[in-house]
Amino acid sequence: MPLLTTKGLSRHFGGLRAVDGVDFALMPGEIRAIIGPNGAGKTTFVSLLSGRIRPSSGMIVFDGADITTMPAYQRVRLGVAYTFQITSVFANLTAFDNVALPVQRTLTDGRSKGAVRTGVMAALERTGLADRVGTLAGQLSYGHQRLLEVAMGLALKPRLLILDEPTQGLADSEIDNFIALVREIAKDATVLLIEHNMPVVMQLADRITVFNSGKILAEGTPEQIRANTQVQDAYLGATHG
């Protein structure tokens, strides 16, 4: 049984069909990458999944429940966490306090300081930020702000973690750690990521979905996608010479 499916999912902005009749299925425990040229509809698609925007038509089902019209905060409670393409950390709060906010949402007794601290430190340690616990988020490097956002997502204990351009701003030395982190996350969650860094996609993804002009152009394993001539023409041309 898929964890998440969409049927005929569409979102139009005036005459622009940003997402155009997409049928999609995501299996539990997989790492799925979404790739495609700029303007292909990737971020709009995951924004529909997370509830940030409403579809024009179509249906979204998560773990057997129709969540098409459900607001984002209710989807979070079901286990859908989303990190934004542009960092959305609270610059004037410490790394600890940024992560404490989502941790409190997962606790039945959000006031237990010990439980909050345990949850926060677990998320910061997983993302390699434990030594920056007292640093204001606004003083972290851009790459570390991205990782802090992943920690905030992890703190929600999601069943589905959606990452939008997570390696943007990470140094090469941090990317290997990030790949290891996502593999670790996938042991107890499903991961859906939009990513432009093709070596990261090819290393991480179990399956890849290619968007183009609001539709799914192709879907398959990294090997199948690498060999797909349509994908090469639409998107991978630059990397295939």
Q: Quote the pTM value.
A: 0.88
Provide the residue-wise pLDDT of the chain in tens; the chain has 241 residues: 999 999 999 999 998 999 999 999 999 999 999 999 989 999 999 999 999 999 999 999 999 999 999 999 899 889 999 886 556 799 999 999 999 998 988 776 656 888 899 999 999 999 999 999 999 999 999 889 989 999 998 998 899 999 998 898 888 888 988 899 999 899 999 999 999 999 999 999 999 999 999 999 999 999 999 999 988 887 755 444 3
Cβ neighbours, 10 Å, residue 114: 7
Q: How far is CA 227 from CA 60, 65, 219, 241, in A?
A: 30, 36, 12, 14
Domains and CATH numbers, the chain: 1-69+190-241 (3.40.50.300)
